[in-house]
Amino acid sequence: MAVKLDGLSPKELQVLIAQAQSKMESARAEHIQSVKAKIDALLKAEGLQLSEVYAGRGGKRGKRAGAGIPKYRNPADPSQTWTGHGKKPTWFQLALKKSGVTADSLLITRAATKKAPTKKAAKKRTAKKVVRKATK
């Protein structure tokens, strides 16, 4: 199928390009459907699912990998959290507009997971301070 392009005007070339692009899109869609049909037939013949053949594909999608650990929590609704990355959520922006609320006050405290220092550790720190003052 040879098309002689030499004598065509710019408008005719545009029409020809549009027709070619349209034909290309429909041919690609037909090709994809054909490949899908072949894959489905092969999977059915083997008694398999796409998710069994390709792990992580064709199944339910969960949270993306590396979504991050929440850093901030909405005091009005504790189920709403934010990692501190990306666009600030609306609840975070509204909370900051309230008087006395800062980003630090919305931080999720990790204090509950850390143990309080023991009396022995506190005594050691005090002793070190006394020694430092005495040597100065």
Per-residue pLDDT of the chain (136 residues; tens, 9 = 90+): 678 888 889 999 999 999 999 999 999 999 999 999 999 999 999 998 888 887 765 555 555 555 688 899 888 888 889 888 889 999 999 989 988 888 888 998 765 444 555 666 666 666 666 666 666 6
pTM for this structure?
Answer: 0.38
Contact of 71 with 83, CB cutoff 8 Å: yes
Chain-centre distance of CA 134, in angstroms?
Answer: 55
What's the pLDDT at 66? 54
**CATH architecture, domain 67-113:** Irregular (4.10)
Report the length, in residues, of the chain.
Answer: 136
Structure tokens, 76: 């009005």
pLDDT of residue 90: 92
